[in-house]
Amino acid sequence: MSTQQQVATQIWNYLTSIGWSQEAVAATLGNMQSESGIVADRWESDDIGNMSGGYGLVQWTPATKYISWAQNNGLVYQDVISQCKRLEWEVVNNQQFYHPNMTFRQFTQSKQSPEILADIFIRYYERPLNPNQPARATQARYWYNLLKDNDNTVEEGDLEMFIAKCTGGDVNQYIKNGSFVLFNLNRGTYSILNGQSQVDAVTEGYQLSTSKSLTKGSMSYLVITNLIMGAKLDYRG
């Protein structure tokens, strides 16, 4: 089971990779900590299966609001990234966040302090009966200070660890000698490609030197060839 910090880092990496400001992500994490302990598979009051109660990182209520959406979109509803994708969908469709002078997208881009944004999130996204919960602002500052230097930059030797971190799993079980992996840096997902023609189809016209660093914002896709112990890594964008 992942620790709270590991899950928070996974959320941080995903949301910052799709353009959220660090301050907005920290504010969201501060609220998630109070809502669910930053546990994706958390049911309100630990009443497992109660679809009328809250569920997930931000405790969508009723639980069906999120779970039905995830299932309809072919997502594993317990998954951290699936829940981040729900947040992403809410931003695009301006759902759940109701502020008189700010859209959800504007919130995600804001550079106001984590404390101010945490207060905005509880008042206009979570909307509990008692919105005066200063602990959330304190928690937001904690996550900001802890993760603000996590810039998602990866060097050649760290690539395997980077993929495992972003996918939330052990990448070794997915990669075998001779296979190809298409890794979408912006979405934190990957898929196995079989055959050089499939690789060429997504890499044609692009080449990235292995001597360069990569960031989640600078490249949309990577193809890793023969990712095995001692093998040369071939990055293609």
In angstroms, the CA 108 to CA 117 distance is 9
> Is the Cα torsion angle 34, 10, 116, 87 positive or negative in sign?
negative
Active site residue 35: yes
The structure tokens listed for 119 are 């207060």
**Do 84 and 11 contact (CB within 8 A), yes or no?**
yes
For residue 166, the Cα-to-chain-centroid distance in whole angstroms is 8
CA-wise closest residue to 119 among 103, 129, 132, 105: 132
Catalytic member of 35, 44, 115, 160: 35
126 CB burial (10 A radius; 0-12, 13-18, 19+):
buried
Q: H/E element holding 165? A: helix 159-167
Beta-carbon contacts of residue 36 (< 8 Å; ≥ 6 apart): 42, 56, 57, 58, 59
Whether the CB-CB separation of 82 and 89 falls below 8 Å is answered with no
Catalytic residues: 35
